[in-house]
Amino acid sequence: MYCIDREPEDYIHGEYLTLFIQEVLDKSHKTLKDLNAISVSIGPGSYTGLRIGLAVAKGLCYGLNIPIISIETLDSLLEIGKQKYLSDTLCAVIDARRMEVYSKIKSPQGKVLSDASATIVEDHTFSFCEPFICFGDGAQKLLELWSDRSITIDNDIKLSTSGQVRLALEKYRNQVFDDLAYLKPIYLKEFKIG
């Protein structure tokens, strides 16, 4: 399993995605024909980014006649957080603009306490599961708002394809593949212009 893992530079991934894929293949001395499946982050996230990523993944899977494995973006982020915080409640948040985040919360045992949702953040949001560790690119805007609460905000944990690896391998080993024709992104909220 190989990952594409780069910090966003003004959200240009869509313009260079196929070049990044070729770079990973070159560095690993592999070709597209060596792939057995493709894992894709299915959302939530950037409307355009999700559509571009899924379109490229689907195109490659169709062309190579291999299965596609979707991983929810928040599950991938929670997987990264779990590597650092083994015995804490984890709250993964992705910036959804203004005072809204895409969020998902899991207990230390892996039980979902709050399923993936688009959440308008207020000073009392998620108080039912304190204390918890909050991380992801949506966490920074919560730092001041939640300063008086029993919440640790970790700005060092960022979304990365490395969070998909174990989840995708588990699905691959169990032959849990998505329907290539009907797989679509998870948006959690409607796309709005402006």
pLDDT at 4: 53
Residue stretches of the chain with pLDDT short of 50: none
State how far the Cα of 149 lies from the Cα of 168, in Å rounded to an integer.
35
Residue type, 94: I
Could you read off the pLDDT of 71-121 as tens digits, one per residue? 999 999 999 999 999 999 999 999 998 889 999 999 999 999 999 999 999
According to DSSP, the β-strands at 151-154 and 112-120 are: unpaired
Reduced to 3 states, what is the DSSP secondary structure of residue 16?
Answer: helix
Topology classification of domain 73-154: Nucleotidyltransferase; domain 5 (3.30.420)
Domain ranges of the chain: 73-154
User: What is the reported pTM?
Assistant: 0.88
